[in-house]
A and B are shown apart, each in its own frame.
Chain A
Amino acid sequence: MSEDTALDDVEVEEAPEDEIVVLAQKWKKKRGSLIMALHELQGRLGYVPRESAMKLGREMGIPLANIYEVLTFYNYFKLESPGKYIISVCTGTACHIKGSPKLLHGIENELGIKEGESTPDGEYHLQGVRCLGCCGLAPLASVNGKVYGKQDVTDAHGLLENVKRDEPMHVAAESNDAE
């Protein structure tokens, strides 16, 4: 099956194990919460890697068959990494007021793609996301889990340069504190 080989080829950037345990604990007791847990998982990784889905299933006591029924039913969920750099521009209230639509638009122009799309070379995927929970750093984008906060919304080019150099202004650990 072509999709199988594709799965093998994907570089799996898995959420840290304990992070999935915490996620599972959070949603386990609430009925019908699988979709919320998957939502959160994808929010962190940009997609739901198979390994993470299996781990989540084991922790929540839900068969993988069930998880894939949900994952493939909704177009929203992605099973494969949409790009090397997954750029999530926060469009939550605080970021919006601080001009995040302008930042999003700027990145669209820089990369030549629309929000929700990936560049043809598979390098970048751009998406607008709900509040990332660190409004103190608004306006911000998160790239592969690292937070680029307090951005100059007129300088999308600068942001992309920082992404390439892997130089977030604020690292993930800090963003966790903010959360």
Chain B
Amino acid sequence: MTDMINATINGVPVEVAPGTTILDAARKVHVKIPTLCKHPDLEATGACGICIVKVQNTGKMLRSCCTPLDEGMDILTETPEIVEVRRGVLELTLSRHPNECLTCLRNQNCELQALAADFGMTTSDLPNIVPDLPLDTSTKSIVLDPRKCILCGRCITVCQQHQNVWALSFLNRGFKTRIAAAGDIPLADSPCVRCGQCSAHCPTGAIVEYDETVAVWNKLQDPEAYCVVQIAPAVRVAVGEAFGFPIGANLTGKIYASLRRMGFKAVFDTNFGADLTIMEEASEFKSRLLEGTGALPLITSCCPGWVDFMEKFHGDMIDHFSSCKSPHEMVGALSKTYYAEKMGIDPAKIFVVSIMPCTAKKSEIIRSKEMSSSGYQDVDVSLTTREFARMIKQSGIDFVTIPDEQPDHMLGAYTGAGTIFGATGGVMEAALRTAHYYVTGHDAPRVDFEMTRGLEGVKEGKLNVAGKEIRVAVAHGLANVEQVLEKVRAAREAGEELPYHFIEVMACAGGCVGGGGQPYGATNELRTKRAAGLYQEDQAGLWRCSHHNPYIKELYAEFLGEIGGHKAHDLLHTGYQVLPEYKR
């Protein structure tokens, strides 16, 4: 065992493993050092300087986020001298930040604002010089306001290193430094896949979701409109964070109730769509596996960030993609066909709102003509969890105490397989449950496939189905996709046996629970807790396999006909095309 490092922080002895930063060591002895550019997900860059501490032995001021604790160090973290330096850093940062807190989407949920409050930054001698830079709303998913940027670099690290997309970078230098889309073009023309991880990691309002709450409120007030809504799996275990609930608390019933009070005439659940996706996708897998009707490995396609990434960077994989639409698109299409028919409502009047953990879904709803398979745009607006939380706050609903309600079961009843879509590996696990049934004619003795769970970047596993070995891989965080696809390409070129039969990819780390539209502050600990909320519901549920969902059976019997049949194909499936990385 390596020797431990012994030192003192504010006179308190501390022992840590070599390489531990002063910041982490301080946490261990309950000393809080303020940070701004540091995010627990990302490697420290030491960009802001707010976390400086003093090493008594040398008299040096060091940035605690990126300095390892050394043997015998005597660290001070709170002296008038240190506080003065930190205030100086903060004052300079604030001097070029617009005073627009009251009208900013991050109001009361902003790391810079919180720090300014903690430090009591009530006056400043410095003039407020805000760079005159234009807003970029081109993606209609993510909004870039470089004026509010404090140049911490988190968005760039996550976009370049974690997502391997390289849509964002710093341009220029010194006082003129700014964030911009690669090559200084509108973000929509860059390789951006709209995953929104930049917005989820931004400490301020410099990168936020494209807010569409007003459009939804207006429709809810429109007497001609028949507004229906659906919520994604991952939303139910995250929205509570905005109301002080413990992380991972599953608040499905409260969400349904709140949505009805807002004025939605029907409350559906994307988990139903997830079950339906599994019915179609597991069938697609079975026929590719047993009848050779298409390329293997089959790759999941419910994540729009991943679909965009594949179309831009991995066009050679198109044949491997499942043709299934994502769950909320299926529910959208059925709302304006099946539901409209059954309830006798003019589909032209139906307005479908999706509440998603995701910014990319905002672009997905208009990505191709198949997204209007009902004859109308199948999903009219896609909101993020963050927008939904704001709507609850605007609506006068006491979310904490409101009693649970049920969904409209026709497109709202679901199984545990649908619920776990929200966590990395969940789609794979759900698909395996039903694929096993399709191939063997009976359910697997145990439907928990633990190999697909957890936060390992790439998870691999094997499964024996009727004497046939099925090899699967699950990747999340787009930078992790590369190695999985390389294995497939290498085997394909060498004419060797396929490394996998089935691959699941989610653009965001942790899957949708860590989505770019989720409440701020996601760490691996938090992602794990949110996912646990989903797995608990799966474990406790009456039905755990999509093909057991009675409302799904009814849907096929009354409306769709055959699984993978003509009508299903028209409404539930889509196609892909190779896209240029840059539109200009």
Contacts and interface: CB of A to CB of B under 8 A. Distances in A.
A64 B165 CA distance: 11
B168 A65 contact: yes
B184 A3 contact: yes
A176 interface: no
A53 B183 contact: yes
B134 interface: yes
Chain B interface helix/strand/loop/mixed: loop
Given A1-B134, A64-B166, A69 B183 contact: no
A65 B183 contact: yes
B184 A73 contact: no
A4 B168 CA distance: 17
Interface in B164-193: 166-173, 182-186
A125 B134 CA distance: 30
Contact of B169 (A1, A4, A50, A66): A66
Interface string A1-39: 101100000000000000000000000000000000000
Contacts of A65: 160, 166-169, 182-183
A23 B35 CA distance: 44
Q: How large is the interface on A (under 10, 10 to 19, 20 to 34, 35 or more residues)?
A: 10 to 19
B182 A64 contact: yes
A67 B170 CA distance: 11
Contacts of A64: 166, 182-183, 582
Interface in A55-74: 63-69, 72-73
A3 B169 CA distance: 17
A62 to B, nearest CB: 10
A163 interface: no
A66 B184 CA distance: 12
B166 to A, nearest CB: 4
Interface string B571-584: 00000000000100
Contact of B186 (A4, A63, A73): A4
Interface in B147-167: 160, 166-167
Contacts of B166: 63-66
A111 interface: no
Chain A interface helix/strand/loop/mixed: helix
B131 to A, nearest CB: 14
Nearest to B169: A65
Contacts of A66: 166, 169
A63 B166 CA distance: 7
Contacts of B183: 50, 53-54, 64-65, 67-68
B580 to A, nearest CB: 10
Central interface residue in A3, A67, A68, A69, by most chain B CB within 10 Å: A68
Contact of B171 (A4, A63, A69): A69
A109 B582 CA distance: 44
A4 B166 CA distance: 19
A148 B14 CA distance: 72
B172 A73 contact: yes
Nearest to A74: B173
Contact of B184 (A54, A63, A68): A68
Contacts of B160: 63, 65
A80 B160 CA distance: 26
A3 B584 CA distance: 14
A41 to B, nearest CB: 15
A34 to B, nearest CB: 13
B190 to A, nearest CB: 8
A65 B182 CA distance: 4
A68 B169 contact: yes
A53 B582 CA distance: 13
A63 B182 contact: yes
A164 to B, nearest CB: 34
A4 B184 CA distance: 8
Contacts of B168: 65
B173 A73 contact: yes
A64 B584 CA distance: 12
Nearest to B182: A65
Interface string B548-566: 0000000000000000000
Nearest to B172: A72
Given A1-B134, A64-B582, A69 B185 contact: no
Interface in A63-114: 63-69, 72-73
A21 to B, nearest CB: 19
B14 to A, nearest CB: 38
Given A63-B166, A65-B160, A65-B166, A1 B186 contact: yes
Contacts of A4: 184-186
B139 to A, nearest CB: 14
Nearest to B581: A64
A1 B178 CA distance: 14
13 contacts: A4-B186, A50-B183, A63-B182, A64-B182, A65-B160, A65-B166, A65-B183, A68-B171, A68-B182, A68-B183, A68-B184, A69-B170, A73-B173
In the A-B complex, the 3 residue pairs with the smallest Cβ-Cβ separation, listed nearest first, are A65-B182, A63-B166, A65-B169
Given A1-B184, A64-B582, A66-B169, 15 more contacts: A4-B184, A4-B185, A4-B186, A63-B160, A63-B182, A64-B166, A64-B182, A64-B183, A66-B166, A67-B183, A68-B183, A68-B184, A69-B169, A69-B170, A69-B171
